[in-house]
Amino acid sequence: MNETILAVGAGGKFAGMVIPELAKRGATVRGLVHNPAHAPAVRAAGAREVVVGDLRDAASIAAALRGIDHVFYIAPAALPEEADVGRAFVAAAIDAGVRRLVFSSVIHPVLTGLPNHALKTPVEEAVLNSDLQYTFLHPTVLFQNYAAAWDGIVKTGVVAEPWSNDTRFSRVDYRDVAEAAAIALTEERLLYGTFELCAEGWLDRREVAAMIGEVLGRGITPRRIDPDALPPETQALRPMFDHYDRIGLRGNPLTLTAILGREPRTLRAFFEEQAARNPGDPS
User: What is the model's pLDDT at position 234?
Assistant: 85
What is the block-wise mean pLDDT of the chain (283 residues), using blocks of 10 residues? 90 95 97 96 97 96 98 89 96 98 97 93 98 98 96 97 97 98 98 98 98 97 94 87 95 98 98 95 63
Residue 72: name the closest of 30, 44, 118 by CA: 30
User: What is the model's pLDDT at position 90?
Assistant: 98
H or E stretch including 70? strand 70-73
Determine the Cα–Cα distance for residues 58 and 123; give it in Å rounded to an integer: 16
User: What is the model's pLDDT at position 272?
Assistant: 98
Amino acid at site 238: R
Q: What is the pLDDT of residues 38-47, one digit of tens each?
A: 999 999 999 9
Amino acid at site 15: A
User: What is the model's pLDDT at position 249?
Assistant: 96
User: Could you tell me the domains of the chain?
Assistant: 4-141+171-197 (3.40.50.720), 144-169+200-250+262-277 (3.90.25)
Chain centroid, CA 63 distance in Å = 25
Q: What is the pLDDT of residues 118-151, one digit of tens each?
A: 999 999 999 999 999 999 999 999 999 999 999 9
Contact status, residue 7 vs residue 31, Cβ threshold 8 Å: yes
Task: Annotate 155-188 with DSSP letters as a single string.
Answer: HHSEEEESS-TT--B-EE-HHHHHHHHHHHHH-S
**Burial class of residue 93 in the structure, from the number of CB atoms within 10 Å of its CB (0-12 exposed, 13-18 middle, 19+ buried):** buried
Paired residues of 52 in beta bridges: 33
